Amino acid sequence: MVAPSFVVLVAVAVLTCLFMAWVLGANSNSPPFAPAIGANAISTMRAAFVIGILAAAGAIMQGGSISETVGSDLIDGVTISPLAATAGLLTAAGFMAIGIYTRYPIPAAFATTGAMVGAGLALGGDPAVDTYRRLGTFWLLVPFMSGGLAYATAVTLRRDDIPESVGVPLLAGVVGAIVANVRLGVIPDPVADQGTIARFVSRQLGGGPTLVADVDIGVVLVTVAVGVLAAYRVRQKVLGSVDEGIRSFLLVLGGIVAFSSGGSQVGLATGPLEHLFRIELGLPGITLLAIGATGILAGAWMAAPRLLQATSREYAQLGVRRSIAALVPGFVIAQLAIALGIPISLNNIILSGVIGGGLAAGSAGVSRRKVAVTITFWLLTLLSSIAVGFGLYRLFEIGFGGSLA
């Protein structure tokens, strides 16, 4: 017979997960559509509605890898209990709330990772050094990858010898080719948990000879075909009207990034409950992801409009081309992180992209003081969330009793 106190603890843990997902939906999914709002390509309320749908879809279709990393790879020697999950999620959500209040973007990935490491250490676990090394390396590379991609994109869009009827469709073709190889949980794959459009279509057509690893000629042909189709569609829009064509591409790009954001962020809310749902309760992983997606959807619909209005004003000053340059790295790096199972902060990527795109124009266009304060906030978040997560779990352990730890 299940103890009533355990049921209460599970309910509290699930509610905490929903709250964390709500905060993520309200805060972390706003940047993708802010440029489109600033360019008057979509209204604020409609953007919030679309963000909620796309981010929730991304959470369900792509959130599994990040959720598993946060739930089982951050601490060795112990499994995360409902009490530890609650302490970690409350800590992370608290830091996110501080970021919203102070208007400095607190990276959810740093806050959640630090909180769960602290709670796991208090639970008696050992540091997962290899995981920390992998995460740290990726996080350090993000500003350079994002800034570099944004710089290259902005330079391409600003070149006088490359007409916009060529440069913008070319960029759309690259994005389309990547989309064809994005892993989605709704696509069956005999080898991996998640399939891709390119591999699925290739199998239907017979595949062909293998070129490298498990990539066959069919995957390459489908990838090229999707890229060419995307480039053709955008080129037709640009030829009709340059401004309308670029705004349409910006809108589609924002949607893709919002989808990727849901897939990369939901695991920060659901990861701590992975062991509880999969092992102790015996529920499929999609159940937990659906709970996280519900919270993200609610957060986007209820609170995103206010943040969208604020951030769109900043993006309006950047212009549509620099906004595109900032969003392309967001999509590429978010998908790379999902494939590797690495929790990331979309705000970190977008800010680096804004700086990189600004450098192409001769100036970053971002306050150096604000950048310095933001980076300081990030480092303090990672370190202090470990301490707070550790201490909060110990307090909960005393209050609930050692039998529930």
Is-contact 374 105, C-beta < 8 A?
yes
Query: Maximum distance among all alpha carbons in the chain?
Result: 74
Phi and psi (nearest 5°) for 184?
-130, 135
**In Å, what is the CA distance from 212 to each residue of 208, 216, 219, 220, 221?**
12, 7, 11, 11, 14
Q: State the pLDDT at residue 405.
A: 47
Q: State the pLDDT at residue 404.
A: 52
What per-residue string of b and e applies to 22-34 under the rule 16 or more CB within 10 Å gives b? bbbbbbbbbbbbb
Nearest Cα neighbor of 242 from 156, 308, 167 is 167
1 CA to centre of own chain:
39
Residue 214 CB-density burial (10 A; 0-12 exposed, 13-18 middle, 19+ buried):
exposed
Tokens of 79: 């499994």
pTM of the predicted protein model: 0.87
Q: What residues in the chain have per-residue pLDDT under 50?
A: 364, 403, 405
How many CB atoms within 10 Å of residue 200? Answer: 16
Tokens of 239: 């030829």
Distance CA 208, CA 224 (A): 15
Q: State the pLDDT at residue 401.
A: 58
Which residues, 6 or more positions from 404, have their beta carbon under 8 angstroms from its beta carbon? 5, 6, 9, 81, 82, 83
Is-contact 227 173, C-beta < 8 A?
yes
Q: State the pLDDT at residue 105.
A: 64
Q: State the pLDDT at residue 99.
A: 72
305 CA to centre of own chain:
19
Question: In the block, which residue shows the tokens 């112990």?
Answer: 78
Tokens of 21: 């997902």
Distance CA 172, CA 228 (A): 9
What per-residue string of b and e applies to 293-318 under the rule 16 or more CB within 10 Å gives b? bbbbbbbbbebbbebbeebbeebbeb
Supply the angle between the helices 285-318 and 346-360 in degrees, to the nearest 10.
Answer: 30
Is-contact 266 285, C-beta < 8 A?
no
Which residues, 6 or more positions from 84, have their beta carbon under 8 angstroms from its beta carbon? 116, 119, 120, 122, 123, 272, 393, 405
Q: State the pLDDT at residue 322.
A: 77
Is-contact 267 67, C-beta < 8 A?
yes
What mean pLDDT is reported for the chain?
A: 84
